[in-house]
Structure 1
Amino acid sequence: MTETVLVTGGTGYVGGWAIVALLGRGYDVRTTVRAASKEQSVREAMGERVGFAIADLMKDDGWDAAMAGVDYVLHVASPLGDQSAKDPDALIVPARDGALRVLRAATRAGVKRVVMTSAANAASPESYTAEGVTDETLWTVDSSSLPAYRRSKTLAEKAVWDFMAGYDGPTELTTVLPGAVFGPILTAHNVGTTQIIQRMLMGKMPGTPKIGLEVVDVRDLVELHLRAMVAPEAAGQRFLGTGEFVWMREIAAALKDALGPQAAKVPTRQLPNFMVRLAAITDPSLRAITISLGRRNRHTTAKAERVLGWKARPAAQTVVECAESLIAHGVVPEVAS
């Protein structure tokens, strides 16, 4: 019998690629959408083989029906909440409660395993000035001084592991902690986290801040989820799914080298930290990144490589193929040669 996988958030960037990979391997796939009106956009990208369930991470309704007959769950979605709100609970509560809602429904249904997408910043030193390399044994210490998004990912993951500590049943849990997710897009309607590359290509950044990213290709991240879903030894484990550490100026250089005229607007100068901090006073989108300026702490994926045989492709390849995809889909205007 064909196994069924429920993917939460099929309209999302990572969720969409997860559906593509699962269908390619012969699984029956069902995905959750908040409203029936969202189904068409998924069908246009994925075809008619995808099943749907109406379920909202902010509500209890629909989750038991969504889990009926499901063998595995990839909990990729996370409610964004109000990222402009001053109250951090606007992000923390939806992420934590949504994750618990999914896990409780999965355990009631007796699914084999839930693989939840967390974030590498849930396994990072509290100090943003820390150097060195960390692994999955480290848990981020929650602090009001941390950005609300980082706190939301940490507290949501802790909540599901705390739930499993008191659970005595057949369902298993695994979490995957990615870095900065780039790579090709599936549709022009959902660019996801590739907006950073989009902004660089369109010249919407005056320069590159001194920020380092651990770039992981969305296709590699999905592969890690699928391996974690079925490998017996992955049960009850956390897996970092970060990629190569690169500074944003190195991303800009890779785009310039590979794309030529198509990358004419990509900024080449690195912005001094004080300029970024000054700009953040009036630009809310910059406030969350100022704490990361100059940070060099990295994560190791040795566990995923050893246990699951996983390996991320080079960062330059990922960002270049991301840019080429954005151009091909018309998200970034093509430059006439």
Structure 2
Amino acid sequence: MTNDMVLVTGANGHVGSHSVARLLDEGYRVRVAVRHPEQVRADSRIEAVTVDLSSDANWDKAVDGVRYVWHHASPFPFTPPENEDELIVPARDGTLRVLAAARKAGVERVVMTSSYAAVGYTVKPDGHYDESDWTDPAGDIAPYIRSKVVAERAAWDDVRDHGGPELTVINPTGIFGPLLNPRVSASTGLVKTFLTGGMPVVPRMYFGVVDVRDVVDLHLRAMLSPAAAGERFIAVGDAATSFYEMGRELARHLPQYADRVPATELTDEQVREAARTNPALREAAGLRGQIPVISNAKARRVLGWAPRPVGTTINDTADSLLALGLIPA
């Protein structure tokens, strides 16, 4: 047991809700900084402070007495905004607000959830990616991807220029795994779409998968390990998978839904052509059909982290959607 207080931003989200649950299980006191406190899990051990990434209000209150901060909050719309600054500005400025408040309050360490989007969306010829890689924010990338690069760069620059708190960054790939409530994230929503027959055709696109429980475990290890200060860690499970392979895994696990999962995979040329008129395919077209080799060696070596198999993660996601009644019979 510990009397340390941990502040969790974005606690209503997929990662945030698991973070709160894990921290409580580990004996920490938890304060959540959220826009909608009424959506936070009811628990006498949880304090809630109302904040907004775009406002200075209440951040001093949020970090008062806090030893560690887990900063998850960042805009993630299901459809691209007309103006990319709707994503980039709050992502960057919200991160700087958290760091400034933490610095003023004497917070020991901030563990920031960035994204693999900040690492591997500038295609490399060899297809191998690790923590030394950065996505080029000036490249032809989607606004959300740009927002993650800009926000993480701003965080590292801020700590370099102004000193503490210690900063550690986690860069997860696609985050799947069981839901703790009916609020569906973009990634878990993909599994739901597959199991409801909403995507019969998919682009040929390979991506990393990681379990939300393993993402949280990596945050905990990064919070406590002296070796994690000033480092970034990619969170990814096994080898990259594709939309089509994910559908095949779901069909094996839940054969009663096999006729709903994607049955056709577009070729790379079809994806590039369709992306001309369909912005949703822009990301897939930009990756050019590459099968990335994404390293989690640093997290394993430095922090002793061991993620679950991708198949387990995908199947547990599906099972939780069924258990919550989110998949019609």
Tell me whether the two structures share a fold, i.e. TM-score over 0.5. Answer: yes
Query: Relative to 1, partners in 2 of residues 1:39 and 1:93: Cα closer, same or farther, differing over 3 Å?
Result: closer
Residue from 23, 40, 43 that aligns with 2:41:
43
2:75 aligned partner: 79
| Distance of 1:42 and 1:249 partners within structure 2 | 35
Query: Relative to 1, partners in 2 of residues 1:263 and 1:42: Cα closer, same or farther, differing over 3 Å?
Result: farther
Residue from 235, 242, 253 that aligns with 2:248:
253
1:27 aligned partner: 28
Asked if the contact 1:82–1:91 (Cα under 8 Å) also holds between the matched residues in 2, the reply is no
Q: Once the 2 structures are TM-superposed, how far is the Cα of residue 253 of structure 1 from its aligned partner?
A: 1.1
| Distance of 1:208 and 1:81 partners within structure 2 | 21
2:253 maps to amino acid: A
1:5 aligned partner: 6
Alignment partner of 1:236 is 2:230: yes
1:292 aligned partner: 287
Provide, for residues 59-97 of structure 1, a one-character-per-residue CA deviation record: whole Å limited to 9, x for no partner: 111100000000100001102379533433232212111
Provide, for residues 82-114 of structure 1, a one-character-per-residue CA deviation record: whole Å limited to 9, x for no partner: 953343323221211111111111111111100
Farther off after superposition, 105-114 or 160-169: 160-169
| Distance of 2:80 and 2:136 partners within structure 1 | 23
| Distance of 1:81 and 1:41 partners within structure 2 | 18
Q: Once the 2 structures are TM-superposed, how far is the Cα of residue 144 of structure 1 from its aligned partner?
A: 4.1
Provide, for residues 143-200 of structure 1, a one-character-per-residue CA deviation record: whole Å limited to 9, x for no partner: 142222211111110101001111234x210000000100100111344421111111
Structure 2 matches for 1:66-215, cutoff 5 A? 66-80=62-76, 84-124=80-120, 126-127=122-123, 130-169=125-164, 171-215=165-209
Asked if the contact 1:209–1:293 (Cα under 8 Å) also holds between the matched residues in 2, the reply is no
| Distance of 1:75 and 1:33 partners within structure 2 | 11
1:321 aligned partner: 316
Asked if the contact 1:211–1:292 (Cα under 8 Å) also holds between the matched residues in 2, the reply is yes
2:48 aligned partner: 52
The answer for unaligned runs of 5 or more in structure 1 is: none
| Distance of 1:331 and 1:48 partners within structure 2 | 28
Asked if the contact 2:204–2:271 (Cα under 8 Å) also holds between the matched residues in 1, the reply is no
Q: Once the 2 structures are TM-superposed, how far is the Cα of residue 312 of structure 1 from its aligned partner?
A: 1.3
Q: Once the 2 structures are TM-superposed, how far is the Cα of residue 242 of structure 1 from its aligned partner?
A: 1.6
Q: Once the 2 structures are TM-superposed, how far is the Cα of residue 283 of structure 1 from its aligned partner?
A: 4.2
Asked if the contact 1:32–1:54 (Cα under 8 Å) also holds between the matched residues in 2, the reply is yes
Give the fraction of aligned pairs with identical amino acids, expressed as a percent: 43
Q: Once the 2 structures are TM-superposed, how far is the Cα of residue 249 of structure 1 from its aligned partner?
A: 1.6
Asked if the contact 2:121–2:287 (Cα under 8 Å) also holds between the matched residues in 1, the reply is no
| Distance of 2:38 and 2:44 partners within structure 1 | 10
| Distance of 1:198 and 1:293 partners within structure 2 | 26
Aligned length: 327
1:241 maps to amino acid: A
Provide, for residues 226-246 of structure 1, a one-character-per-residue CA deviation record: whole Å limited to 9, x for no partner: 100111111111111122211
Farther off after superposition, 207-216 or 81-90: 81-90
Farther off after superposition, 231-240 or 78-87: 78-87
Farther off after superposition, 56-65 or 240-249: 240-249
| Distance of 2:283 and 2:135 partners within structure 1 | 17
What secondary structure does 2:180 align onto?
coil
Asked if the contact 2:5–2:30 (Cα under 8 Å) also holds between the matched residues in 1, the reply is yes
| Distance of 1:111 and 1:224 partners within structure 2 | 19
What secondary structure does 1:141 align onto?
coil
1:11 maps to amino acid: N
Q: Aligned Cα RMSD in Å?
A: 1.9
| Distance of 1:311 and 1:96 partners within structure 2 | 30
